[in-house]
Structure 1
């Protein structure tokens, strides 16, 4: 790989509106989209990204796009995360307000959070993240979420840097803070470039839809997103004989699942029967303890409560207070996939 290059500056991002920024990103593949191209994004498929790049329908590659509070928290805390990182490491950190492209692969574009300037004059990427307290497990044991790793590898390729750091704040003090270093790996970078080149040249520019190859839940959500509103008045479509094997396999798995569900229900009933004497002993108490040698057993029987509105009261609310109903009730549509074998 030719490593004797400097990135091209596309434009300054200092005064770009979000709409302008999103439009410019359609000119190539950005760092946060690298994991989608690699097929490991938790948020989107290559098909989703393809549709976005050809301007058919925009996608949201991060759930925070739908959560304006989380998005604002992330944006507003970037400077704080960079400041904490600088204080903890002693490294000089500054913002980079440019959008870049790779000189050899111009479809690879990058706009960075911050850049680290080392005492010897070399530089590195600093990617600033925040997450909620319950998501910290993704960073344990020096782990880096895979989508962030590919993002940094993409940036290192564009900027021709050897090192990237990710800093993540997950609490409200500087001890609840992760710092992860990622060193450039030219073998992985070559794989990334080849994947991105194929996606851009052979799919986006050739207007050829990428096949669905990601996790089933992600693929099904993607199909649902673009299929449109279900219409039960349409006639059944006719499948081909070649589809029979997959349908039979689906039915076999359904039968197996049914047997396992029956076994699970039987186990649950036995567990409930075993719990009866302890529930009776507890009465109003919510916990019990048994000490046996070096072992300690703790039983809890805590109350849980939830607010529900039954269907009858929903109808009453709609009829009596239509304005309030419109304010508080939203309708979601889901689809259930079933297969039934019948006589011809």
Structure 2
């Protein structure tokens, strides 16, 4: 968990958790969002529940790592700077010795995590620990993770000279953009809103051949989506008609779907239009809806034979 001093330092450089965003592989932050955060144009991402519990569980996971490995882990409170590129920062969770550092993670699911004992961790964490090894000069980083609250695993990532140089090059380029005020290209529609929403001009722009092709593909995609939505509606109706008043659907005794019911109470605007003198308490109207939802179980394709 970063303290206030470390958080302040992060705004003056690039930390390990920033690297995935710079490379465009972060599930949470785009390069533009990170750029604007570093320049103080938008607020840093707020702490969510996953981050909160990750901070709380960091100490017990680190203790379990020490118990399992027998390694005595030293806490490192200070921010470490790269000896040559002082904008590259590292706030490591622990250090066994100069060659071995430790990174603690929590995860709700095992997606992206390979066999224990390998270096098969999610890419956005892999780049983070390689950044830490690049900054500290460590030769190995042990990643200790608690998955789903009860699955403790350890992974071993080793320093790689080519990876380190790639990160140095990418981070140097990005940090120069931050200093020079040159924003990265947008990657999402949310990025467009951040960059252009308040700058929109009532001006026409002629499309290039590439953009014309994109518009054609967009038109075709929208048509396909409409067709697929209509097909989805018909198939859902077919299933619900078969189920009638039964809530769950099974195949071979295994659940494959459920009918979900929802009730929503709100204003009856039609009644208000008809008689504005009607008191508000008589304007509440309850709308009922129901839909069929396929199971999210990983076994569903096997059950369906697809």
- 1:279 is the counterpart of 2:254: no
Q: 1:103–1:305: structure 2 CA closer, same or farther, 3 Å change rule?
A: same
Shift of residue 70, structure 1, vs aligned partner: 3.2
8 Å Cα contact 1:125-1:152 kept in structure 2: no
Shift in Å, 1:227: 4.6
For residues 259 and 274 of structure 1, what CA distance do their matches in structure 2 show? 22
Partner Cα distance (2:50, 2:262) in 1? 26
Residue 279 and residue 39 in structure 1: after superposition, are their counterparts in 2 closer, same or farther (change >3 A)?
Answer: closer
Give the aligned partner of residue 114 of structure 1.
94
- Report the Cα distance in structure 2 between the residues aligned to 1:299 and 1:49, rounded to whole angstroms: 43
Superposition CA RMSD, Å: 3.4
* Pairs within 5 Å for 1:198-217: 198-201=173-176, 203-212=177-186, 214=187
Note the C-alpha offset of 1:320. Answer: 5.8
- Determine which structure has greater relative contact order: mean sequence separation of CA pairs < 8 Å that are 6+ residues apart, divided by chain length: 1
1:67-110 deviation per Cα after TM superposition (whole angstroms, max 9, x unaligned): 2x433322121110101111122222121111111111111111
Residues in 2 aligned to 1:154 and 1:261: alpha-carbon distance in whole angstroms: 45
- The counterpart of 1:223, out of the listed 183, 188, 192, is 192
Kindly indicate whether the alpha-carbon contact (under 8 Å) linking 2:6 and 2:78 is maintained by their aligned counterparts in 1.
Answer: no
1:145-181 deviation line (CA, Å, top 9, x unaligned): 21111111111011101000111113444xx112111
Cα distance in structure 2, aligned partners of 1:270 and 1:21: 54
What residue in structure 2 maps to residue 305 of structure 1?
Answer: 261
Contact 1:44 1:222 in 2 (8 A): no
Q: How does 1:1-344 map to 2 (within 5 A)?
A: 18=4, 20-60=5-45, 65-67=46-48, 69-117=49-97, 123-132=99-108, 135-141=109-115, 143-173=120-150, 176-201=151-176, 203-212=177-186, 214=187, 219-227=188-196, 237-243=202-208, 246-247=211-212, 249-259=214-224, 261-262=226-227, 265-266=230-231, 269=234, 272-273=237-238, 276=241, 278-279=242-243, 284=246, 286-287=248-249, 296=252, 302-312=258-268
**Structure 2: which 5+ residue stretches go unaligned?**
273-278, 282-306
> 1:185: how far off?
0.9
Deviation at 1:299, TM superposition (A): 6.7
Q: Distance in 1 between matches of 2:55 and 2:76?
A: 15
- The more displaced of 176-185 and 21-30 is 21-30
Shift of 1:111: 1.5
Ranges in structure 1 where 5+ consecutive residues have no aligned partner:
1-12, 290-295, 322-344
Q: Alpha carbons of 1:82 and 1:255: their partners in 2 closer, same or farther (altered >3 Å)? A: same
Contact 1:157 1:189 in 2 (8 A): yes
Tell me how far apart the structure 2 counterparts of residues 102 and 300 of structure 1 sit (CA, whole Å).
53
Q: Structure 1, residues 211-254: CA drift from partner, whole Å, max 9, x if none?
A: 23x4xxxx222232455579xxx9x6222224576256324432
- Residue 309 of structure 1 deviates from its aligned partner by 3.1
Change (3 A) 1:301 1:190: closer
- For residues 35 and 238 of structure 2, the distance between their equivalents in structure 1, rounded to whole angstroms, comes to 54
The TM-score, its normalising length taken from structure 1, stands at 0.67
Aligned residues: 271
| Whole-angstrom distance in 2 between the partners of 1:17 and 1:259 | 50
Specify which structure has the higher proportion of strand.
Answer: 2
